[in-house]
Amino acid sequence: METSVDQLVTKIYKNDIQVKRIRKEIQQLSENKIEHLAIEYQGSPFGIKILLQVLPSAFDQKELSRLPNRNLPFMFEIFLGEKFPFVFPKFFCRTTVFILKDPL
């Protein structure tokens, strides 16, 4: 685990159970080297944001051809609030997806 991420965790979370659990979650994400996935961690006054970028190469090209933004990564955000793991994380999709209908 990167030192900066570890410092981020210990700065935000004071409870030992929380620190251990978050370190475990981050370690599992970091160990799963997924070819088409980029992970970034950001701190906020209320918790940690995990930013995930899923590259277009991870998807079937035929299905992507129906998307106008097919060359852009899909962006997701997982927010681990200051009460995590005692409350569920919040998941957000930060990519707007429009599907083009097949012409008649």
Give residue 11's Cα distance to chain centre.
20
- 13-60 per-position pLDDT tens digit: 888 988 888 888 888 877 766 777 888 888 888 888 989 888 777 776
* Contacts by residues 21-29 (CB-CB < 8 Å, ≥ 24 positions apart): 21/84, 21/85, 22/48, 22/80, 22/84, 22/85, 25/80, 26/1, 26/50, 27/1
The mean per-residue pLDDT over the stretch 92-101 comes to 73
Q: What percent of the chain has pLDDT over 90?
A: 7
pLDDT over 50 (residue 85)? yes
Question: Rounded to 5 degrees, what are φ and ψ at 50?
Answer: -110, 115
Nearest to 47 by CA among 74, 75, 25: 25
Which helix (H) or strand (E) element contains residue 37?
Answer: strand 37-44
Enter the pTM of the model: 0.72
